[in-house]
């Protein structure tokens, strides 16, 4: 058990809708990262937050947004959903930044857009 | 067995053999590298890391080798077991992951 909790585990929704994915990092970890993994694909880095502030941005669409709250949990908001957004979305956390410490991943939220 | 990572994304080995998974990185300024294992239906799990001031680091049944001259990283798994079957990713310190290599262990 990595200590990172993601909810919900599964989400099925229709095109055009909006969903929110939630992540609770490991106790003590200040950094939260979001990744997208399509079927049999690699992990695409979306965005990183450190202690409430956006630290780095990857290939995140404008329809997607995220935030990290004072209690350090994070939410990823996906809007105007398209079929191609169907994927596994992983949250990871680390003590500091990815520059000098490994990431600890949750087990993901599987999003299906129909 | 040996894999070239991005060029040969699948590696199949016999139980008990040693496995070598390779990864090429592009950023010569990277100074921290990590290997992760992802089992089906789960998130990636940290295996071992290495900093650029080292060439080799050993863990339990795993060894990571770093060749900064050719920007190459490898993960060696000794006496591969069925439980080692998974996708293995390398990552550089800018949080970007390689494409991954699927390791299948035949009993």
pLDDT tens column, A23-33: 999 999 999 99
Q: Which residues of B touch A58 (CB under 8 A)?
A: 95-96
Ordered per-residue pLDDT tens for chain A, 114 residues: 889 999 999 999 999 999 999 999 999 999 999 999 987 678 999 999 999 999 999 989 999 999 999 999 999 999 999 999 999 999 999 987 656 788 999 999 999 999
Structure tokens given for A70: 């004072």
A-chain residues near B42 (CB < 8 A): 107-108
Residue contact B95–A100, C-beta within 8 A: no
Which residues of chain A are within 8 Å of residue B29 when distances are taken between CB atoms? none
Contact A103, A33 (CB under 8 A): yes
Other CB atoms within 10 Å distance of the CB of residue A24: 19
CB contact under 8 A, A92 and B49: no
Rounded distance between C-alpha atoms, residue A38 and residue A75, angstroms = 19
Q: What is the pLDDT of residues B4-62, one digit of tens each?
A: 333 448 999 999 999 999 999 888 888 999 999 999 889 999 999 999 999 999 999 99
Tell me the Ramachandran region of residue B99: left when phi exceeds 0, alpha when psi lies from -120 to 50, beta otherwise. alpha
pLDDT at B5: 35
Which chain B residues are within 8 Å of A4, Cβ to Cβ?
43
Give the closest of A58, A90, A100 to B43, CB-based: A90
pLDDT at res. B94: 65
Would you tell me which residues 15-44 of chain A have a C-beta closer than 8 angstroms to some C-beta of chain B? 33, 35, 42-43
A99 interfacial to chain B (CB closer than 8 Å): yes
- Dist CA A2 CA B93 (whole Å): 20
Of the candidates B107, B100, B80, B90, the residue with the CA atom closest to the CA atom of residue B26: B90
Task: Report helix, strand or coil for A61.
Answer: coil
Residue contact B100–A42, C-beta within 8 A: yes
């Amino acid at each position: 058990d990595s200590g990172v909790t993601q909810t919900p585990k599964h989400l099925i929704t229709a095109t055009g809708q909006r969903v929110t994915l939630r992540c609770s990092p490991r106790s003590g970890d200040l950094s939260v990262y979001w990744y997208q993994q399509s079927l049999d694909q690699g992990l695409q880095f979306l965005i990183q937050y450190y202690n409430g502030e956006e630290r780095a941005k990857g290939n995140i669409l404008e329809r997607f947004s995220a935030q990290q709250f004072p209690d350090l949990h994070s939410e990823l908001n996906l809007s105007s959903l398209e079929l191609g957004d169907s994927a596994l979305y992983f949250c990871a956390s680390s003590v500091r930044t990815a520059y000098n410490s490994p990431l600890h991943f949750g087990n993901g939220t599987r999003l299906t857009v129909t | 067995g040996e894999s070239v990572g991005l060029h040969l994304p699948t590696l199949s080995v016999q139980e008990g053999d040693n496995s070598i998974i390779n990864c090429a990185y592009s950023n010569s300024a990277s100074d921290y590298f990590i290997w992760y294992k992802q089992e089906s239906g789960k998130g990636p799990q940290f295996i071992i890391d290495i900093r650029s001031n080292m060439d080799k680091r050993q863990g339990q049944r795993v060894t990571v080798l770093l060749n900064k001259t050719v920007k190459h990283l490898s993960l060696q798994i000794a006496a591969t077991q069925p439980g080692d079957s998974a996708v293995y990713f390398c990552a550089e310190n800018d949080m970007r992951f390689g494409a991954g290599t699927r390791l299948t262990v035949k009993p």
